[in-house]
Amino acid sequence: MSLRRKSDEETERAPLPGTAHPLEVSPETQTALKLWVVLSRAQAAVSAHVSADVARHGLTLTEFAILEALYHRGAMLLGEVQRRILVSSGGITFLVDRLVAKGLVERQECPSDRRARYAALTDEGEAMIRRIFPSHAAMIERVVSGLDLAEQEEAAQLLKRLGHAAASADIKEVTFSNV
Amino acid sequence: MSLRRKSDEETERAPLPGTAHPLEVSPETQTALKLWVVLSRAQAAVSAHVSADVARHGLTLTEFAILEALYHRGAMLLGEVQRRILVSSGGITFLVDRLVAKGLVERQECPSDRRARYAALTDEGEAMIRRIFPSHAAMIERVVSGLDLAEQEEAAQLLKRLGHAAASADIKEVTFSNV
DNA sequence: AGCATTTATCTTAGTTCTGAGAAATACATT
DNA sequence: AATGTATTTCTCAGAACTAAGATAAATGCT
């Protein structure tokens, strides 16, 4: 957070023609834009810590999310895991392959649908998640402790509604707009 | 692509045979974990819409973020842009290269530091951001409209504090843990 | 001034994931 | 049963990065 002495050069830099900003937006729009920015920054900041934590055990965030889902919900079809952790179909194949290679997950046949495969924790995978989950949870608790408990619940409630609304929103394509 | 079926969420699953759940956590920890989950999901949901929107103009989210930053703040050193949009040093070189190739950005020498380079919008880049920003902002407004204005401001305020606290948090390494 | 350290960008190799499409299977309708 | 459509996973090319190190220039310390 060191301040540069570049502000004197800024006047030398060619300022934008018509220095006033013609892209003025309503206060409502500004609030929405602001929310989008702080949402992204907060997620990135927390994510960096969580990511570093699971990396200590040789896992990526996405890998950990799969292990956690399989631990808490039991064996799941690949498609179920895919929708839950929000990756592409190619991505889930790739990720499960890697977890299989690490010995943490195994594929199992689905008796009622021969196209489908279950992903299930191996004993080693279950031992792994059991071992790292407590410190993982404690770390997240510390990272979000900038908000007190009531504020965390308030934020979670708002974010849950925001997420659901955004996920189900069908944004109409404004196809008649200029290029 | 379509994540329509969300029946996964309500399907209650019988616990796997033999998997007692010894990983019980305190209510405080559960609140923190819940916040982390809904934060990630909300960000992903909004991000998907924003990403699809800028993709209509042949831009990635990160590219758009650079253009927007340069438009609203004027020419910036690559390192400044890098810290602002949170990419690696290699990443900012890669991204600016690509924007230069698209004719939207140009590198300029820094008179006071011969190592450094400014990134600045070209006329074409400025025209681009002027053209797409209004509909972009309107789209974000729609995507976050699941919360009313007061709720958006409340959420933004909480997320701002959460983000700042998380970004400045020094999480102690629990190095004595087994591997 | 001379030398070590820091800073800013770039290079290269590798990682993580996406998107499009293929193959196999299931399901629905005739 | 046959045919067409939907779904489930996998394959493959390539996009969008990251991490580590290289290079060059600025800065700090005797």
Is the minimum CB–CB distance between B60 and chain A shorter than 8 Å?
no
Q: What Cα–Cα distance (Å) separates residue A178 from each residue in A53, A173, B123, B143?
A: 46, 12, 19, 21
Q: What Cα–Cα distance (Å) separates residue A69 from each residue in A46, A58, A121, B55?
A: 20, 18, 10, 31
**Is B152 in Cβ contact with A29 (below 8 Å)?**
no
Residues in chain A: 179
The answer to whether strand D lies under 7 Å from the CB of residue B62 is yes
Determine the Cα–Cα distance for residues A54 and A121; give it in Å rounded to an integer. 17
Backbone angles phi, psi at B98, to 5 degrees: -70, -40
- Is the separation of the CB atoms in A95 and A66 below 8 Å? yes
Interface of B with A in 5-44 (CB under 8 A): 5-6, 8, 13-16, 19, 21-23, 25, 28-29, 31-36, 38-44
- Is the separation of the CB atoms in A144 and B32 below 8 Å? yes
pLDDT at site A79: 97
- Is the separation of the CB atoms in A65 and A85 below 8 Å? yes
| Nearest nucleotide, CA A62 to C1' | C16
| B18-22, B35-39, B95-99, B133-137: least confidently modelled range | B18-22
Determine the Cα–Cα distance for residues A110 and A96; give it in Å rounded to an integer. 16
Residue pLDDT, tens place only, A41-56: 999 999 999 999 999 9
Is the minimum CB–CB distance between B79 and chain A shorter than 8 Å?
no
Closest alpha carbon to C1' of C7, residue: B115
Is the minimum CB–CB distance between A127 and chain B shorter than 8 Å?
no
Summarize the confidence of residues B124-148 as an average pLDDT. Answer: 96
Backbone angles phi, psi at B55, to 5 degrees: -65, -30
Instruction: Give how far B110 is from chain A: nearest CA, Å.
Output: 9
Summarize the confidence of residues B99-125 as an average pLDDT. Answer: 97
Which among B50, B151, B158 has the least Cβ separation from residue A151? B158
Residue pLDDT, tens place only, A128-146: 999 999 999 999 999 999 9
Cβ burial, residue B18 (10 Å; 0-12/13-18/19+): exposed
pLDDT at position B25 over 80: yes
- Is the separation of the CB atoms in A103 and A125 below 8 Å? yes
Percent of chain B clearing pLDDT 70 (strictly above): 82
Instruction: Give how far A124 is from chain B: nearest CA, Å.
Output: 13
Footprint of strand C on the protein (CB under 7 A): A 2, 4, 60-63, 86-91, 94-95, 98, 112-115; B 1, 77-79, 82, 89-90, 92-94, 96, 107, 113, 115-117
b/e map A123-135, b = 16+ CB within 10 Å: eebbebbeebbee
Alpha helix stretches (DSSP H) within B102-148: 123-143
pLDDT at site A177: 37
Residue pLDDT, tens place only, B84-101: 999 999 999 999 999 999
Is the minimum CB–CB distance between B174 and chain A shorter than 8 Å?
yes
The answer to whether strand D lies under 7 Å from the CB of residue B15 is no
Determine the Cα–Cα distance for residues B53 and A40; give it in Å rounded to an integer. 16
Is the minimum CB–CB distance between B52 and chain A shorter than 8 Å?
yes
C-beta within 7 A of nucleic chain D, residues 128-167 of B: none
Backbone angles phi, psi at A77, to 5 degrees: -65, 150
- Is the separation of the CB atoms in B74 and A18 below 8 Å? no
Given pLDDT bands bounded at 50, 70 and 90, which one contains residue A170?
low
Which among B45, B137, B159 has the least Cβ separation from residue A163? B45
Tokens 């009313």 -> residue: B148
b/e map A18-44, b = 16+ CB within 10 Å: eeeeeeebeeeeebbbbbbbbbbbbbb
pLDDT at site A168: 86
Q: Mean pLDDT of all residues in chain B?
A: 87
| A4-8, A116-120, B92-96, B101-105: least confidently modelled range | A4-8
Give every CB contact of residue B170 below 8 A, 6+ residues apart in sequence: none
Given pLDDT bands bounded at 50, 70 and 90, which one contains residue A8?
very low
pLDDT at position B147 over 90: yes
The answer to whether strand D lies under 7 Å from the CB of residue A90 is yes
